[in-house]
């Protein structure tokens, strides 16, 4: 899912990227703990949940996700779990993906632009 803010200089932000990262990381951890067979010859379950592998899976033509970005999402989600967030899931995912965009959106809401 991509959130596009209605602004002339708006950029596309893949707000579900942190969600998929957390989902794949948890699923890989569970599969590893249950002793499931490896998903491929190339990577173990732990490697499938690595920042590099998640970045590769989320990247596509014209859209790049870096391992550093994945690392930062994980740090933000650890610092502020969804259960402690005062807002809806879309706002949370935007804040985890791009805190500056979240702050801009909040300012626009306060000004009554949205």
pLDDT digits (tens, 9 = 90+) for 28-39: 888 878 887 776
Cα–Cα dist 1/40, whole Å:
27
Mean of pLDDT values over 7-30: 81
Distance of CA 100 to the CA centre of its chain: 15
Helix (H, G, I), strand (E, B) or coil at 1: coil
Domain coordinates of the chain in residue numbers?
A: 3-110
Residue 20 has pLDDT above 80, yes or no: yes
- The mean predicted confidence, pLDDT, of the chain is 83
Q: What is the pLDDT of residue 14?
A: 78
Token pair for 99: 């805190």
CA distances from 54 to 5, 51, 72, 93 (A): 25, 5, 13, 16
């Amino acid at each position: 899912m991509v959130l596009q803010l209605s602004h002339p200089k708006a950029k596309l932000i893949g707000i579900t990227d942190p969600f998929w990262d957390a989902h794949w990381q948890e699923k890989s951890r569970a599969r590893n703990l249950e002793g499931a067979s490896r998903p491929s010859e190339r990577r173990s379950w732990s490697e499938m949940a690595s920042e590099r592998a998640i970045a590769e899976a989320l990247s596509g033509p014209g859209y790049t996700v870096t391992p550093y970005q994945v690392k930062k999402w994980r740090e933000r989600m650890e610092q502020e779990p969804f259960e402690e967030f005062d807002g809806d899931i879309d706002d949370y995912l935007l804040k985890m993906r791009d805190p500056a965009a979240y702050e801009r959106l909040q300012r626009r809401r306060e000004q009554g632009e949205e």
